[in-house]
Every structure is written in structure tokens, then in C-alpha cells.
Structure 1
Amino acid sequence: MRVERARWEGRWVIVKTISHDHPDVIRRFHREGEIAARLAHPNIVPLLAHTRTQLVYQFVDGPTLRDHLRGRRAPPREAFRLFRGVMSAIAYAHARGIMHLDLKPENVMLEDGRAVVTDFGMSHDTALTRITSMGERMGTPHYMAPEQYKGVRDDPRSDLYAVTVMLFEALAGVPPHPDPLGWLSGTNLERLPLPGPPALHPLMECGLARDPEGRPPSAMSMLIELERAEEHLQS
């Protein structure tokens, strides 16, 4: 896959061009386009065009969350603002049956202080036929929920886990589990102390639960709890 900035219809865009003829790669490429076309939210990078070989996305003039946080910890107020945007995007996607399943700092862009979620290339859409095999592991270990490691790819609470890991990392400077593969396999359950305001700790404890049943029941409920914690901080 080739990803480039280009001019398109008088503006800067990001163009993803498929350069592989493997059937699975082609299916995933076009599935990304189908999913992205269904999403229109201020905290999600919009798809502008979908052709046989290219996906054209709006250009976001800003760094990734990874680049923004490199070598620093986010102050609590900044973290609340950024992750309100991420959670708003995920709640919107989940309401449409779409799970991102690859949330990580590299897939969140910042534009004028606003978080914008991108790259739905590994997403699952309940309205579309599954194109991945049952039991297939896909994701980035630090941000992959334990059930994803076991091959489960249709639980929206996996996204809530990933968002919590990112929030933890934004506040602490590092992800919660020093040995992510050990954590996922259950052989090393070490976790660093919860960072940030104590008012946020119950939500983070819940969001990092190994069992999806222990996490918030929905992205919207998690967003509400995040806003409550922010109100507590402001008071």
C-alpha cells in the first residue's frame, strides 16, 4: 500500500493506492472504502473518493497523537479534551455497527487541537459480510484487547479497551503493560499504577478489564463517564 499527499480538485488530500494483487489485500482495501464511506463525523477523517485502486481522504494538517505525545505527558485537561473527541467518534461508529479494532496513537490525528480518528482498514462492520477468518489475530499488542488476541473481532468493547490504553499512555507517558504479549497471553499480568486524576481511575480500571464484561457497556456510556470525571476535575 502506498500512502501519499497529493493535490485533488484544488486541495491537499491523502491518497492510499493499492499496489498488491493478493485477493485478501484487495478485499480489505475495498472494505475500508465501504466502511469509510458510511462515516461522516467531525472527529473522523472523511473519505472523499473510492476508485478501483485508490482511496482519497481529506488531508489533516497536523501531527499524529503519537508524534504529539512523544517525550511528554499530556496535562489532564488536554487529555480530557482529546479523548472526548476520540470517544465521540467511536460512539458514532458503534451506533452504525462499525468497530475500528486498530485504535492506537498512530491512528489519531490532531488538527487545531481536535482529535480525528483515521484508518478503518482493520474494522468490522456488522452490516457487511465478514472477510477475516474466525480466530485471526489482528492488531497492535499494546492496544489490542485480550479477546482480540484470541481472535474475537466483533466486540465493540475491544475499542473501549484500546481507548483506555491510549488515555493511560497520554497521562503516564507509557502504556499500562510493560509486557503486552505476556499480558495478552495471561503469563504476565503486571500493570503500572493508574496515572492522572483519581476521579478518572474508576473509569480507567473498568476500561482496562481483561474480560469485556468488566468494561463499560458501550462507547456512549464511557463517553458520559469521561465527561463526569472531567466535571469533577473542574469543580
Structure 2
Amino acid sequence: MDIGERYRLGERIGGGGSADVHRAWDRVAGREVAVKLFRAGASAAQKRRQEQELRILDRLRHPGLIPLYDSGVRDGRAYLVMRLVPGPSLADRIADGPLPVDETLELGSGLADALAHVHRAGITHRDVKPANVLLAPDGPVLGDFGVAQGLDGARFATSSAVVGTAAYMAPEQVRGAPVGPPADVFALALVLLECLSGHREYRGSLTECAVARLLREPKVPDGLPPHVADVLTRMGNRDPSARPEAREVAGVLRAPAPAVLRPRRRRGLADVVKAAASVAFSLG
């Protein structure tokens, strides 16, 4: 299947309820790309969401985000052309088992840095989760801004609707309260804890895992460097105002563990006598 004369669609490599993502060949640029092809017959609300995603992607340029190359409409179906990331998703990686601490910290600092860029642009992702993180050879990249919103609160759902993925929602998302960058920071904490443990922090049915975070904060495992345990604990605070900003998270996770100074050994009486004897001998 072709999209115009430029793109030759290949196999389907992903997608969701409103769109399919295909591997494609860009005849003009001479490279493989990913084409997100929205389904026909979209409602007015879905079309507005597609336009919002396009505007957001067009504004964002960062190594940790999937870049937008092109967009258009073909046979009544909107499409987005983006970088094709050859690596697996983080969800696929976690399915093979927990990640080492150093790998988790490197991945987390890259994602936090990307989120800091997103937040500076006045955007909240609202759906940070392992399935939306692709592991490119040059580092993790965050994709799928389909439910993102601007900090002006623009969204394409009713005021009572809950938008996001239940297992990674912040408490304020579950409550249907206003959502901003702190919700992304909370979700990133859950993603990193899942990397370390190999399982979701909040499990069970849709309702159970959504309500659980209203009752308890995420559990940070023992054995982590103290500065890492501290930032993860603050990221998972149920109070959005108590969470660190993404840029702080990035700095903490990429920083080496603070050096621990060994206390100087106190000199006892025997040491003093020994030193005095040495001095006396040298003067004798």
C-alpha cells in the first residue's frame, strides 16, 4: 500500500484503538520510517485529538523524543511520519526480567531529561509507561503523545473523564483532578520501580490498581543508593506539589553516588605514647 508517491507501507508494527503504526519506506529520503495511520471515520473529537498530537509533535525536538518528519491526509485518513526506532519497547525488555540498577538509572535520567523538555514546552504527556518507551541504540525515546495536553488544560474528553493507563496514573488522574507535569513524574517513578522489580507496582483489576495509589505510595526497594531512593520516594508522593521536577530527577539519576568520607581514626593513648617515643628516639 502506498501513501501518495512518497511512502510505501510495510508491516504493521504497533497501534491502538484509533491508529495503526506501519514500517514504511520513504522514497524521497531513502530511509525506513514509521507511519502512524489513523483509521477512517474518526469522530470530531478524535480529529481534534489527532490535530493536537500533530501540533505537539511539531513543537518538540529532543534526542529522547521520537521526531516528526511529515504529516498529511490520504483518502480521508490522517497520517504522521516519524523516526523508525529499531529497538524493542521497554515493556518487552522488562518482560525478560528486572534491569540492573545502573541501567535503570541511565534510562531514567534520559527519560526525565526528555520529560523536562516536554514540560518546558508547556505540555504534559499523561501516559508515561513502558510500552511508550522505545529502546533505540542511542538511548531510550518516549513516544505516543496521543493523550497529551497543554498546560492551558486543553483536552479532548469530558471534565469527568480519566485519561491515561490505570497502572501508571498519578493519584490526581484517578481522582479526575487537574493534571500537570507532576503526574508524568509520578508515572516515571512507577516505570523505574518496575524496571528494578520486574513487575508493576500497582496490580489487579482496572479499579483495584487505580484506587490502590490513593491508599498507599509506591514502595521503594531497599539497597538503592540513598540519593536514588530519596528521589524515587519524592517522585511517588501522593501530593503533586511535593514531587521534584523532571529536570531535578534527571540530575539526581545521572549524578554519581555522593562520596562517603571515612571518619578519621581517633588517636588513643597508645598512639600518643608511640608517637612521643618516636620523637624522643629521633632527638636522641
Q: Secondary structure at the match of 2:237?
A: coil
Deviations 1:180-226 (A, max 9, x none): 7435435753855525514221111111111212211x211222222
Q: Secondary structure at the match of 1:67?
A: helix
Identity fraction in percent: 31
Residue of structure 1 equivalent to 2:132 = 107
Residue of structure 2 equivalent to 1:55 = 80
> Do residues 29 (structure 1) and 55 (structure 2) align?
no
Deviations 1:104-133 (A, max 9, x none): 000000111510011111101236844333
> Do residues 160 (structure 1) and 185 (structure 2) align?
yes
Residue of structure 2 equivalent to 1:185 = 211
Q: Secondary structure at the match of 2:257?
A: helix
In the aligned structure 2, how far is the partner of 1:2 from the partner of 1:46? 18
Residue of structure 2 equivalent to 1:174 = 199
> Contact 1:171 / 1:196 at 8 angstroms: preserved in 2?
no
Q: Using structure 2 for the length normalisation, give the TM-score.
A: 0.75
> Do residues 18 (structure 1) and 18 (structure 2) align?
no
> Contact 1:182 / 1:189 at 8 angstroms: preserved in 2?
no
Residue of structure 1 equivalent to 2:239 = 211
CA change 1:193–1:42 in 2 (3 A) is closer
> Contact 1:87 / 1:219 at 8 angstroms: preserved in 2?
yes
> Do residues 116 (structure 1) and 135 (structure 2) align?
no
> Structure 2: which 5+ runs fail to align?
1-18, 261-284
Q: How many residues align?
A: 232
Q: Using structure 1 for the length normalisation, give the TM-score.
A: 0.90
CA change 1:153–1:105 in 2 (3 A) is farther
Higher relative contact order (Cα pairs below 8 Å, separated by 6+ residues): 1
Q: What is the identity, as a one-letter code, of the residue corresponding to 2:211?
A: S
In the aligned structure 2, how far is the partner of 1:75 from the partner of 1:201? 15
Choose 95-104 or 110-119, whichever is displaced more.
110-119
Q: What is the identity, as a one-letter code, of the residue corresponding to 1:71?
A: D
Identify which of 85, 93, 104 aligns with 1:79.
104
Runs of 4+ displaced beyond 4 Å: 190-193
> Do residues 148 (structure 1) and 166 (structure 2) align?
no
> Structure 1: which 5+ runs fail to align?
none
> Contact 1:103 / 1:143 at 8 angstroms: preserved in 2?
yes
Choose 160-169 or 181-190, whichever is displaced more.
181-190
CA change 1:233–1:119 in 2 (3 A) is farther
Deviations 1:112-160 (A, max 9, x none): 1510011111101236844333232011111111101122353110000
Q: What is the identity, as a one-letter code, of the residue corresponding to 1:7?
A: W
Residue of structure 2 equivalent to 1:125 = 150
Choose 38-47 or 107-116, whichever is displaced more.
107-116
Choose 112-121 or 95-104, whichever is displaced more.
112-121
Residue of structure 1 equivalent to 2:25 = 7
Residue of structure 1 equivalent to 2:3 = none
Residue 2 of structure 1: CA displacement? 2.0
